[in-house]
Chain A
Amino acid sequence: MALEINQTESETVTTEPKFGGKAVMLEEHIVEIISDSGEGAQKCGQSFGAIAARMGFGVWTVEIIPAEIRPPARSVAGASGNRIRIGSKRITNGGNETDLVVAFNEQVLLGRVRSKELKPGCTILLESMWRTSSNPRFAKSYVETYDQLVAAGYRVYEIPMDKECRKVVSDPRKGKNMFALGVLCGIYSLDLKVARQQIALTFSKKSDEVIKSNVNLLEAGYRYAEEHIDIKYSIPAVKSTENQIVVNGNTALALGVLASGMEICAMYPITPATSASHYLSDVFEKVGGIVHQAEDEIAACTFAIGASYAGKCTVTITSGPGYSLKQEAIGLAVMGEIPLVVVNVMRGGPSTGQPTKTEQGDLMTTIFGSHGDAPKVVIAPGTIEDCFYSVITARKIAETFNMVVVILSDANLATSQQPFRRPVFSEEWMAPPIDQSAVPKGAKPYDWDPKTGLARRFVPGQPNGMHTLTGLAHDVNSHVAYDPEINQQGMRARSLKLATLQKTLRPPTVFGDPTGDLLVIGWGSSKGAIEEAVEGLRAEGKKVSALHLTFIQPLPPGIREILAGFKQHITIENNWCDQWEDEMIDETNRRYSALALLLRSRYLVDIDCWSECRGTPLKPNTVRRVILEKLS
């Protein structure tokens, strides 16, 4: 079996000396823990991230998810686990390659090696039980892989996790992850007291015995690291002076739904959006909310539309394929001017694409999707914190402008965790009660304001407001109308609302100097990676700045002025654009990335683009390389 790994010169350590030296100080590190699905690496990684966050580290965790629920054990494609980036400073993205990895078998490790996620020469803590496996195939595969990894320059530590766990519990399969957590706590000098508290929290629904047994495993792992592993790191932590919460993007979205005062979420299961609905189903009912799992995506959207039409603004949560199915219904909400929030947690497309992987491929379909001219608002959170507040903003815009607001998150945000300031509840987040007062006699359901395009919404229950809302072209009375002037009038009003909203938006701020050689423009979850790369290059004297856009439809004012401050411009996105290197590609046929295409058409500036569709979040190093190439 070919290993396909990067050869390096670094020294290898195969013995297991007891650690005696001083801890090595680090600014940051990237740690991975991977196992077969169901072995608990996810829980270990999340706990490790949470402990680090509680101690005041900057943290960004990313889930490593196989595409199948139960991929075969010990398979290269079956790696399940977590990637945790910890550092002294605030961490805004998943970072570059991994520095240290804990693997429960060599096969899942190979998967990570082959996808080039590990730093050359990185430290590997490998479960060694397979070396003496009674299955000769496993033993052979383990020995071969181990030898190749060592030859390739990785620092491989063999750890008898299974054996060590057996000293504490009878069934090591149900606790190896907490042993591994203890090992990591030992290596990274994390506070055992905080770790114990975290375990109590993680298993708060379980019995005291379960908690105690897991704490024992944690401590065993910690001791093992102290006694047998010759590496110890220390990352200076600065504890926040503010209360923070640690959640992933999907949980943040669900909390945002709660905080927005919406009452109904209609959804249909789809990866990677569903975890938001899982969490919402659990908590929404505590505050009287309802998650309705509809029979399909179209039903989820039309159900939400019906509920919005008769009550408060409603949300539907989906991902790409589901969004495609909802398009006709979204057009109906646009035409009928029904407030609606649609969350699209983007995954790789087209078609079924890469369900568990991240991509920013749906920008065009959300802005221009649905047949005919269907103006709607599109906002894209750039951080986990944004995921929370974006729903509150979306609900407000939807109800103020009677529009569809699409929130474009992605699998990267959905599964990543990052601490942010605990939100302080505000009554202003809440949706006002629905209007049931009588409508003045003679008032019209689509009394479009000629300047803003806005019209008051009549809600069923309001006396004198009776009308039939229709997806057909209609006049101010909501009467079906095929008159050319009337159709023109309705189209104009629906479009004007976007301009009206745009007038209320603040210009975006530039990250770095307002002038320079290159402006890197991005949107959505790539914010952290882009800004980190730009910050690093600026420290090296490069005249590069970054611009992150949260509102994409409408684009906020002030962008033209920002663009004018730079000699060159490039968007960096996680979607498709044609590469100049391809022989067939030239100026007359190159397909640009979504944001680049939008900006080029609006500002008539020759904005270049760079993008990739690898299914993984953009890495700061990749952005750095792209910027340096563009500058050279």
Chain B
Amino acid sequence: MTEQTETISASECLIRMYDEQHEIEDYQKGVPRWCSGCGDNSILTAVQRLCRDEGLLPEKTVFVSGIGCSSRLPHYMNTYGFHGIHGRALPVAEGVKLARPDLTVFVNTGDGDCCSIGAAHWIHAIRYNMDMTMMLHDNQIYGLTKMQASPTSPLGLKSNTTPHGTYLEALNPLTVTLGVSNVSFVAQVVDWIPEVMYQVLSQAYHHKGFSFVRIIQRCTEWLPKLLDPWLHDRQRVLLLHHENGLEISPALAKSYTKMREHDPSNMNEAREIASAFDPIPVGILYRNDDVPCYEDLRHDSRLRTNSLIQKGLESEFDKFTIWADGNEPA
């Protein structure tokens, strides 16, 4: 097989470089309307940077979201976006990916959207293992509807629907995710360490399969103090590092000294780490590159031409046909 090459002039080359090289501004749209200090802002910055660094074509990139503060994110991206209905971001994103495996798909969802109203889809999305990156913006509260307890709210949290404190232990999204068949990428980050968030999102993007990234984020409006103990005490963050996981920069290692070497292929250890919340484990808990993607299992390589459809249709008609006299095929 010969490779086709094309000769272009140096100036044409420069023009193309300019056209195809995107700046961070190329991915930005509008001014975010999140509260100041909201963790969503740092997530937005990280994904815009990721898009630029990976040179993603804005027209070939889709951000799908549900409903909630987190789900406004697509509106601030100058890519294609789908801001759907509460809890259903994942099936929408799966439909996009199955119809168009050529598109890069990101999903932004919150703890209410994903872990409560959309919990069924979350479980199954892990199992489908379609190639997309999901960000769980987990601020442990319903923000847009004004401070109701969410499944990830800590036990005893007082909210508008739990004035005497929540009654139930918080749901742990990491252990849930790690318990589902076909899980292929699980990570956790916190919104106040942007360097780690970026690096994890980058690895999530490069992972072929369903990448689940839980982002513990602050809600400055409703729970301004909730995460302060962790924010102010760097010993309460546990950095997970490994040659196949997160690389810790010297600067980061100076600030966050509590570290643990963890091989992301070790599921048992991943589950053990995922079970703890204090210190908060940060990094890549689990990765398995060998889980097949649903879209690859379902698509075949044939070109879907009209004549292929006609052929299939006629052979089905044949099965059910009563031939008029003289028409019966030999």
Contact = CB atoms under 8 A, between A and B. Distances in A.
Contacts of B298: 290, 292
Interface string A276-306: 0000000101111110101110111011111
Given A306-B93, A310-B96, A461-B102, A245 B82 contact: no
Nearest to B315: A286
Interface of B: 30, 58-60, 62-64, 74-75, 77-85, 88, 91-100, 102-103, 120-121, 123-124, 298-300, 302-304, 306, 308-317, 320-325, 327
A466 B79 contact: yes
Contacts of B120: 295-296, 299
A299 B124 contact: yes
A258 B316 contact: yes
A243 B323 CA distance: 5
Interface centre among B124, B299, B309, B311 (most CB of A within 10 A): B309
A460 B100 contact: yes
Nearest to B326: A241
Interface in A374-426: 419, 422-423, 425
A2 to B, nearest CB: 43
B124 to A, nearest CB: 4
- 4 shortest A-B CB distances, which residue pairs? A306-B95, A468-B81, A311-B99, A307-B95
Interface centre among B300, B306, B327 (most CB of A within 10 A): B306
27 contacts: A241-B324, A241-B325, A243-B324, A244-B321, A245-B322, A251-B320, A258-B309, A258-B312, A259-B313, A287-B311, A290-B98, A299-B88, A302-B84, A302-B85, A303-B92, A306-B64, A306-B82, A311-B99, A328-B85, A329-B85, A332-B84, A419-B322, A427-B306, A460-B103, A466-B80, A467-B81, A468-B83
A472 B66 CA distance: 11
Nearest to A438: B59
Interface residues of A, number: 70
A89 to B, nearest CB: 16
A60 interface: no
Nearest to B100: A310
A159 interface: no
A164 to B, nearest CB: 30
Contacts of B310: 425
A243 B98 contact: no
B317 A245 contact: yes
A255 interface: yes
A461 to B, nearest CB: 6
A259 B310 CA distance: 8
B298 to A, nearest CB: 5
A302 B309 contact: no
Interface SS majority for chain A: mixed
B83 A472 contact: yes
Contact of A307 (B77, B99, B123): B99
Contacts of B83: 468-472
Given A243-B323, A468-B83, A310 B103 contact: yes
Contact of A468 (B77, B85, B299): B77
A601 interface: no
A87 interface: no
Given A283-B312, A466-B79, A242 B95 contact: no
B312 A286 contact: yes
Contacts of B324: 239-244
Interface string A298-323: 11101111111111101000000000
Given A245-B322, A299-B121, A425-B314, A470 B98 contact: no
Interface in A230-265: 239-247, 251, 255, 258-259, 261, 263-264
Contacts of B75: 468, 470, 479-480
A306 B96 contact: yes
Contacts of B82: 306, 309, 468-469
Contacts, number: 190
Contacts of B323: 243
B59 A306 contact: no
Nearest to B83: A470
Contact of A302 (B88, B320, B321, B322): B88
Given A240-B322, A264-B98, A306 B314 contact: no
A423 B312 CA distance: 13
Contact of B317 (A286, A294, A422, A467): A422
A261 B91 contact: no
A290 B30 CA distance: 38
Nearest to B104: A460
B267 to A, nearest CB: 24
A303 B105 CA distance: 14
Interface centre among B64, B94, B95 (most CB of A within 10 A): B95
B108 to A, nearest CB: 11
Nearest to A328: B85
A169 interface: no
Interface string A441-481: 00000000000000000001111111111111000000110
Contacts of A471: 83-85
Contacts of B63: 468
Given A295-B124, A310-B103, A287 B313 contact: yes
Contacts of A149: none
Nearest to A295: B124
A247 B316 CA distance: 11
Contacts of A306: 64, 82, 91-97, 99
A264 B94 CA distance: 12
Contacts of B99: 263-264, 306-308, 310-312, 314
A461 B93 contact: no
Given A258-B312, A283-B316, A422 B321 contact: yes
Nearest to B64: A306
Given A243-B324, A329-B88, A288 B100 contact: no
Contact of B320 (A247, A314, A332, A464): A247
A357 interface: no
A255 to B, nearest CB: 6
A559 interface: no
Contacts of A466: 58-59, 78-81
A75 B120 CA distance: 39
Given A288-B304, A468-B63, A468-B82, 17 more contacts: A240-B322, A243-B322, A247-B320, A251-B320, A255-B313, A289-B304, A299-B88, A303-B98, A306-B64, A309-B82, A309-B95, A310-B96, A422-B317, A422-B321, A460-B103, A461-B60, A466-B81
A255 B316 CA distance: 8
A251 B313 CA distance: 12
A304 B95 contact: yes
Contacts of B299: 290
B88 A298 contact: yes
A461 B62 CA distance: 9
Nearest to A463: B59
B121 to A, nearest CB: 6
B316 A243 contact: no
A310 B95 contact: yes
A54 interface: yes
A241 B22 CA distance: 65
A241 B85 CA distance: 53
B246 to A, nearest CB: 31
Contacts of B314: 425
A298 B83 CA distance: 16
A471 B68 CA distance: 12
A303 B93 CA distance: 7
